[in-house]
Each structure stands twice: as structure tokens, then as C-alpha cells.
Amino acid sequence: MKRNVLLPRLSLSAGLLVVLASALLSSVALAHGVAQVDQGFLQTNSGMALVPYMYLGAKHMVTGYDHLLFLAGVIFFLYRIKDVALYVTLFAIGHSTTLLLGVLGGIHANAYIVDAIIGLSVVYKAFENIGGFRRLGWNFDTRLAVLFFGFFHGFGLATKLQDLTLSADGLVPNMLAFNVGVELGQFCALALILVAFNLWRASGRFMQHAFAANVLLMAAGFVLFGYQLTGYLIS
């Protein structure tokens, strides 16, 4: 006899999204944060340190739950490598531009507001994935949207680095190395997410769990948004 299943067993990729979202929910205050030991290095280093800065950039990306959740949402329904490459490149352009402009150009913004918008970027992508905007009759150029939110993701880290006293000696090459590390970290994280997604799709249960996974993404984005907005209001 066929049983009614209230909570379907999550697939590998759905489980990955659960892990990422759970990590965000449990450590949301650390979004875009710089670990204490890394802060010590950044504030005491003087002169070029390309490899350490590259490592820190990669570390930021692979531990940045908001980045990973947004990227997972972006590639959720992308099946062709060239489409994945296009959207990830747009995100990288936006991320790199504001990261460098923020740190090297001295452009400042309230960190809570920037991180709140980053939370909304996750909400936006998940809502789009479940067809929410289509039902409302709203049409967006998804490529421009990814580039637009990429600007905020890069600016989010810039605001944290601006809080640190970075030596001007070697700052430009160090920040360029940091940015290269961010892109390398993004490539590694994206590769793992793609492998998991492909296994999920091959299992035949992709569409069965797609809606629930995107609802989970949206909830995580709202939590991040609410946390940062609360921080802004009480700060």
C-alpha cells in the first residue's frame, strides 16, 4: 500500500542547501566577517604579501554563506556551462568592482544596510526561482540583477576591511591578490555546488524538491535581512 509522505527525503543537493542555510542561521552575525586571527595579520602586515592575501580572499569566499546561497540560487536552473559561466562572471565583475573601489577608493556605506541588501539578494533569487515574479507579472533582466547584487556582495566585504587599519605599503597589489583569491575560492565552491546539483538532477528528484529548497533559501535570506536591519536600527 502506498504511504503518504509528509516530508520527502532530501536529496544530496537539497541537503547541501540545508547545511548552508543552517550555517547562515546559526552564525549570521559573521556574514562577511573577518576572523580575529586574520584581522591580526591584516593590521600588522606591511608590504606585499600576495600569497597570504590570496589565501584570505579564497577563505572569505568558501566560508561566506551568503555568497554561496546566492550563487546556489543563481545556478539553480542553469543547465549549460556557458550559462553558468556568464552569470558567475557577471557576479564576479560586480563583486570585484565594489571590493576594490571600497577599499582602494575609500567609498563608504553603512555595513548593516549593505548586508541587509545582500540578504535580500538571496530572497530575490529564490523568489524568482519559484516563479514568484512571473506570477506578479514582473519581468527582470536576470543578468543585470546578478550584476547589480554582485556590487553589494563585494561592498559587503569592503565595509569590513575598511574597519581595519591596513598598511598603505603594498595595499594595491595585496588587494588585487585578495580579489584573485576570492575568484579562486568562488570557482572551487561553485564546482562543488555544480557537482551536487548534477547528482541531484540525475537522481530524478530535482523538481520534486526544487520548490522546498528555494523556500529554504528565501527564509535564510529573510533571516539575514532581518538581523542586519535590526543591527542598523539599534546601532
DSSP state of 4: P
**At residue 3, what are phi and psi to the nearest 5 degrees?**
-95, 150
Per-residue pLDDT tens digits for 23-58: 444 444 444 566 777 888 888 888 889 999 999 999
Task: Kindly give, in sequence order, each residue whose CB lies less than 8 Å from that of residue 12, ignoring residues fewer than 6 positions away.
Answer: 196, 199, 200, 203
Task: Kindly give, in sequence order, each residue whose CB lies less than 8 Å from that of residue 173, ignoring residues fewer than 6 positions away.
Answer: 48, 50
Give this prediction's pTM.
Answer: 0.83
Per-residue pLDDT tens digits for 58-86: 988 888 888 999 999 999 999 999 999 99
pLDDT value, residue 11 = 47
Q: Which residues of 138-153 are buried (b: 16+ CB within 10 A; e: fewer)?
A: eeeeeeebbbbbbbbb
For residues 21 and 126, is the Cβ–Cβ distance under 8 A? Answer: no
Q: How do the pLDDT tens digits run along the chain, 235 residues long? A: 444 433 444 444 455 555 555 544 444 444 456 677 788 888 888 888 999 999 999 988 888 888 999 999 999 999 999 999 999 999 999 999 999 999 998 888 899 999 999 999 999 999 999 999 989 988 889 999 999 999 999 999 899 888 888 888 989 999 999 999 999 999 999 999 999 999 999 988 898 899 999 999 999 999 999 999 999 999 7
